[in-house]
């Protein structure tokens, strides 16, 4: 089973950016933990990409069709703004889990709207870096259930 991990804008600043909101863990540490958890689950992280560019994230999503089984996605600020990324995910029909470090529902009102939650397999938010690991576990469980149903 192959998983793509996508991190949206400003997540490359983790560890320095607003530690009271996002913690002190760096993105490279989060990626390391995701890969370790993936190995424990017996799956492969094909790639882990952070981009501040909406178009680069769209290209990665487009390339995911037929190349990966699922996507673990923290759209970050694009959560509240990107119809284009939503359409890309709908277009490739690769199951994905939306993850957030902070509890976006407990923050500013504009952060309470997600363009992705209704089309995601699930959403995990508010657990800091652990959100990614919980999201990965849920995504893998979902993919295994789908595989078993087809068998």
Q: Does the active-site annotation cover 22?
A: yes
> Which of 7, 22, 115, 132 does the annotation list as catalytic?
22
Q: Does the active-site annotation cover 100?
A: yes
Segment 48-52 long-range contacts (CB within 8 Å, at least 24 positions apart): 48/5, 48/6, 48/7, 49/4, 49/5, 49/6, 49/7, 50/6, 50/7, 50/8, 50/11, 50/12, 51/6, 51/7, 51/8, 51/9, 52/8, 52/9, 52/10, 52/12
> Which of 7, 100, 115, 132 does the annotation list as catalytic?
100
What residues are annotated to the active site?
A: 22, 100
């Amino acid at each position: 089973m192959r998983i793509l991990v996508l991190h949206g804008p400003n997540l490359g600043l983790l560890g320095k950016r607003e530690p009271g909101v996002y913690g002190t863990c760096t993105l490279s540490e989060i990626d390391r933990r995701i890969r370790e958890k993936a190995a424990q689950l017996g799956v492969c992280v094909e790639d882990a990409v952070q981009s501040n560019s909406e178009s680069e994230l769209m290209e990665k999503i487009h390339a995911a069709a037929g190349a990966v089984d699922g996507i673990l996605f923290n759209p970050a600020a694009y959560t509240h703004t990107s119809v284009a990324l939503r359409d890309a995910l709908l277009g490739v029909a690769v199951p994905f889990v939306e993850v957030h470090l902070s509890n976006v529902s407990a923050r500013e009102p504009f952060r309470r709207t997600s363009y992705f939650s209704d089309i995601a397999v699930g959403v995990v938010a508010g657990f800091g870096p652990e959100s990614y690991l919980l999201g990965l576990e849920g995504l893998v469980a979902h993919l295994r259930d789908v595989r078993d149903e087809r068998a």
